[in-house]
Chains A and B, each alone.
Chain A
Amino acid sequence: AQSVAQPEDQVNVAEGNPLTVKCTYSVSGNPYLFWYVQYPNRGLQFLLKYITGDNLVKGSYGFEAEFNKSQTSFHLKKPSALVSDSALYFCAVRYMNRDDKIIFGKGTRLHILP
């Protein structure tokens, strides 16, 4: 069965420091992988995706994610955190089939400390 694990409920990072939000997946075959962000009282905003090709993908707001097939991981990273990055981050996966649903992780709350 498809599943996504985000092992950290919350991550605290000082402003200006690099941040990492962890994600591992359990899907057979070749998955699509995504990161979405949810700001307070807002919807789900697409950040970035991995389909194929380079393992390092770049997305919105300076975020990037590294796909590691051997470790089945897709960690979200940013070299220098901003206070405005504070939000709830969801890792998500779906199969490379036409109408498969997206499966979300439980989310990680990122707090950037001024």
Chain B
Amino acid sequence: EPEVTQTPSHQVTQMGQEVILRCVPISNHLYFYWYRQILGQKVEFLVSFYNNEISEKSEIFDDQFSVERPDGSNFTLKIRSTKLEDSAMYFCASDRPPPEAFFGQGTRLTVV
């Protein structure tokens, strides 16, 4: 069964460093999303992406964040200069379009 895959599963980075979280959405899906979950808490929407551009972003998704679909298969989230409060589980999701979105296993980002 096709699935969304995310790499790495766990990333540790120093405060102020840039990180890139990678996702491979399901191949025939058209809409892509990033969500984050601070440990054990609510799952929060960050950004949605369609037709090679951002379609919606939340207040969390400030200038430190960017997304890219560089090669037609990968979908990346870049955090330019990480802060301690960026520590969270980051989930990538995709859909064909709706109704349900399919989520990856997540990347746990730890900023130290």
- B55 contacts chain A at the CB level, 8 A cutoff: yes
Which residues in B have their C-beta under 8 angstroms from that of A45? 103
Determine if B106 is an interface residue (Cβ-Cβ < 8 Å).
yes
Question: B105 touching A99 by the CB < 8 A rule?
Answer: no
- Of the listed stretches B12-20, B70-78, B93-101, chain A binds B93-101
Q: In the complex, what distance in Å separates the CA atom of A96 from the CA atom of B99?
A: 8
Cβ of A99 and Cβ of B55 under 8 Å apart? yes
The answer to whether B33 and A43 have CB atoms under 8 Å apart is no
Count of chain B residues near A, Cβ 8 A: 25
Q: Do most interface residues of chain B lie in helix, strand or loop, or is the interface mixed?
A: strand
Q: Is B65 an interface residue (CB 8 A)?
A: no
A102 on interface, CB distance cutoff 8 Å: yes
Chain A residues with CB under 8 A of B50:
99
Q: Is the CB of B103 within 8 A of A43?
A: yes
A46 and B100 form a contact (CB under 8 A): yes
Binding site for A on B (CB under 8 A): 31, 33, 35, 40-45, 48, 50, 55-56, 91, 93, 97-106
A residues with CB within 8 A of B: 32, 34, 36, 42-46, 49, 51, 88, 90, 94, 96-107
